[in-house]
């Protein structure tokens, strides 16, 4: 062992080295420096190239960073021997180790893995896995609780569904049983309804017949009281007969009729029509004094009105309505192509008119109450006779839909306003169109006769309101001021004030004597449809598209009350002539009574 150690001892000696003297100021220093710089540049370029091509490189160590490298095997063993106090064993190990290394029989040294570091890493990994396991167990526990909750709710809802299904089946069974039960009563109800309608019709026919007989009796008595009437008086008497007992005048009117035997007007009427009987003479008759001129009527207390009854009598929107001149009877026109007659204020159905092929927008009673005129979207005007219980005349000269129809106060002429921009005047006794009033450049939405005269007012979509002389067929006055389509026009009972409404929600009052605007009323942002004066002429009620009826003072336009009750747009409004109630109809398929 001593010989081995002696052989491996190293001796420092300078004899074995040969030194070469180098001149410090040699000219080759500059060349060597340049060669060194070139070599460094090539090395940097080569390093950059290897980085670009993606070759594996040893990660750089940042300055000041401590890198822990694992121990080599021999250092590990030396440290172990010294730690355990095995110094002689350590000397033997070193002698043999270096001998093998010197002879080349020892492989390149390898490092010893740091067991403690590895154990620490494994402990950290185990701790992390344990935490993940604990979290997974917690999540699984919560999921199990949630699953149990959902299972219980599922069972509850399943049980509830079964119970509801059983109740539904029971209700269906009861409903089927009730339908079968009530089906037995349906024929009886229909029979009773037919009997009721028949009795009501017979009652109304009896009332009309009574009124006709009373009218004839009054006519005979008045004619017997005058000894020798003049020609003008005979003409006035014939006109009065046509106005009061118009049942005979309207009953015989038909599209093919050419003459009438009752109440034939002499003179110009025969020359105009070419026949012995014409209703056109009523327009050319001397002006009649308004019988209400010297009368005063109480103002309707609109602030006290409230919704009393609601009647749903149509399948579609109720577009218009009209009141009987002498009886508490209302007629409604609807988009369901029918008109219906009702007894008010009870709302009992009297009769129903079917025959139009499209919606019905205009209706009006004969001044004597014996017949009815209706205008429809099928471009026709029909005359309905209550005594004959059928349509006795149909006029089809209009080219487009008809919005409004109005009887002249004597009952022999009907005016109709149409979408074809015209107003036509129909001669009922002659069953023909006497005149077409042309001048509007858009649809004529409403017409109204000046009370007890031959002047006619029209409201048009061309934003104007016009006054026409029906005898000459000329426009005598045009009112300007509306900024949108005019929807309605109406006179007060004296004919001194005209009200018009438009699609901007504006109502205007016009003085017909001064041909000037009285005031402008703004009802809101919704269109204003039809309007109506009360009998005193002091209150104007306006039907508005927002489902309200708004009443204003006719003198200064001040709002008095807003009546809400309709569920959709209000199309028309009317006052009872006696001032006891107000009626309205709308797009909610109903008409309503306000008392």
Which domains occur in the chain, in start order?
194-221+234-281+318-437 (2.130.10.10), 439-588 (2.130.10.10)
Structure confidence by residue, pLDDT tens digits, 522-574: 999 999 999 999 999 999 999 999 999 999 999 999 999 999 999 999 999 99
495 Rama sector, left if φ>0, alpha if ψ -120 to 50, beta otherwise: left
Give this prediction's pTM: 0.56
pLDDT at 40: 72
CA distance 281 to 267: 9
Residue 345 is encoded by which pair of tokens? 């204020």
Q: What share of the chain is helix, strand, coil (3-state, %, to 5)?
A: 35, 30, 40
Please give the pLDDT value at position 143. 92
Q: How many helices (H) and strands (E) does the chain have?
A: 10, 28
The vertex-129 CA angle with 128 and 131, nearest 5°, equals 65
**Cα 399 from Cα 552, distance rounded (Å):** 37
The residues, any chain, with a CB within 8 Å of residue 251's CB and separated by 6 or more, are 370, 371, 385, 387, 388, 392
CB 382 within 8 A of CB 393: yes
Give the per-residue pLDDT at 273: 36
CA 450 to mean position of chain CA atoms: 38
CA angle at residue 126 from 123 to 132, to 5 degrees?
Answer: 145
pLDDT of residue 208: 82
User: What residue ranges of the chain have pLDDT lower than 50?
Assistant: 1-10, 12, 17, 19, 22, 24, 55-56, 58, 225-276
Tokens, residue 144: 């199990």
Most distant CA atoms of the chain, gap in Å? 186
The position carrying tokens 């598209």 is 545
Number of C-beta neighbours around residue 125 at 10 A: 10
**DSSP SS3 for 176:** helix
pLDDT for 253: 35
Identify the pLDDT of residue 446.
Answer: 97
Give backbone dihedrals phi and psi of 47, rounded to 5 degrees, phi first.
Answer: -65, -45
Terminal CA-CA length for the chain: 139
pLDDT of residue 262: 36
pLDDT attached to residue 33: 60
């Amino acid at each position: 062992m001593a010989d081995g150690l002696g052989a491996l001892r190293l001796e420092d000696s300078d004899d074995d080295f040969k030194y070469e003297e180098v001149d410090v100021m040699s000219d080759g220093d500059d060349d060597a420096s340049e060669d060194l710089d070139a070599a460094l540049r090539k090395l940097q370029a080569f390093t950059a190239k290897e980085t670009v091509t993606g070759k594996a490189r040893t990660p750089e160590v940042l300055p000041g960073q401590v890198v822990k490298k694992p121990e080599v095997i021999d250092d590990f063993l030396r440290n172990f021997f010294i730690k355990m106090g095995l110094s002689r064993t350590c000397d033997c190990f070193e002698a043999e180790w270096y001998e093998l290394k010197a002879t080349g029989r020892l492989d390149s040294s390898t490092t010893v893995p740091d067991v403690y570091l590895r154990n620490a890493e494994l402990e950290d990994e185990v701790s992390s896995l344990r935490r993940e396991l604990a979290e997974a167990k917690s999540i699984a526990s919560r999921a199990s609780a949630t699953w149990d909750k959902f299972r219980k709710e599922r069972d509850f809802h399943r049980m509830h569904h079964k119970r509801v299904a059983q109740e539904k089946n029971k209700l269906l069974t009861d409903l089927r049983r009730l339908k079968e039960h009530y089906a037995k009563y349906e024929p009886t109800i229909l029979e009773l309804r037919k009997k009721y309608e028949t009795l009501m019709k017979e009652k109304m026919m009896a009332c009309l017949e009574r009124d006709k007989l009373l009218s004839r009796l009054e006519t005979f008595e008045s004619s017997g009281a005058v000894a020798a009437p003049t020609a003008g008086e005979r003409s006035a008497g014939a006109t009065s007969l046509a106005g009061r007992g118009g049942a005979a005048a309207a009953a015989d009117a038909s599209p093919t009729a050419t003459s009438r035997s009752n109440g034939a007007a002499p003179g110009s009427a025969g020359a105009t029509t070419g026949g012995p009987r014409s209703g056109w003479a009523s327009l050319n008759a001397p002006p009649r004094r308004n019988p209400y001129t010297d009368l005063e009527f109480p103002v309707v207390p609109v602030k006290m009105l409230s919704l009393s009854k609601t009647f749903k009598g149509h399948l579609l929107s109720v577009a218009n309505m009209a009141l009987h001149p002498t009886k508490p009877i209302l007629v409604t026109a609807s988009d369901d192509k029918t008109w219906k007659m009702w007894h008010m204020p009870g709302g009992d159905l009297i009769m129903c008119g079917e025959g139009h092929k499209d919606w019905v927008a205009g209706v009006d009673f004969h001044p004597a109450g014996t017949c009815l005129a209706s205008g429809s979207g099928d471009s026709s005007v029909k005359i309905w006779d209550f005594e004959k219980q059928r349509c006795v005349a149909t006029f089809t000269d209009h080219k487009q839909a008809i919005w409004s129809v109005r009887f002249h106060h004597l009952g022999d002429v009907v005016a109709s306003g149409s979408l074809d921009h015209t107003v036509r005047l129909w001669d009922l006794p002659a069953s023909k169109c006497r005149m077409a009033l042309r001048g509007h450049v858009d649809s004529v939405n409403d017409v109204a006769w000046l009370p007890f005269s031959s002047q006619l007012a029209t409201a048009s979509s061309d934003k104007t309101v016009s006054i026409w002389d029906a005898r000459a067929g000329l426009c005598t006055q045009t009112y300007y001021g509306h900024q949108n389509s005019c929807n309605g026009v109406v006179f007060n009972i004296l004919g001194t004030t005209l009200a018009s409404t438009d699609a901007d929600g504006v109502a205007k009052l016009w003085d017909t004597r001064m041909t000037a605007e009285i005031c402008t009323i703004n009802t809101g942002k919704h269109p204003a449809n039809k309007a109506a004066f009360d009998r005193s002429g002091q209150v104007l009620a306006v039907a508005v598209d927002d489902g309200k009826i708004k009443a204003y003072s006719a003198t200064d336009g001040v709002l008095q009350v807003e009546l809400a009750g309709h569920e959709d747009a209000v199309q028309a409004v009317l006052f009872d002539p006696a001032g006891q109630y107000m009626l309205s109809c709308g797009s909610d398929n109903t008409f309503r009574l306000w008392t």
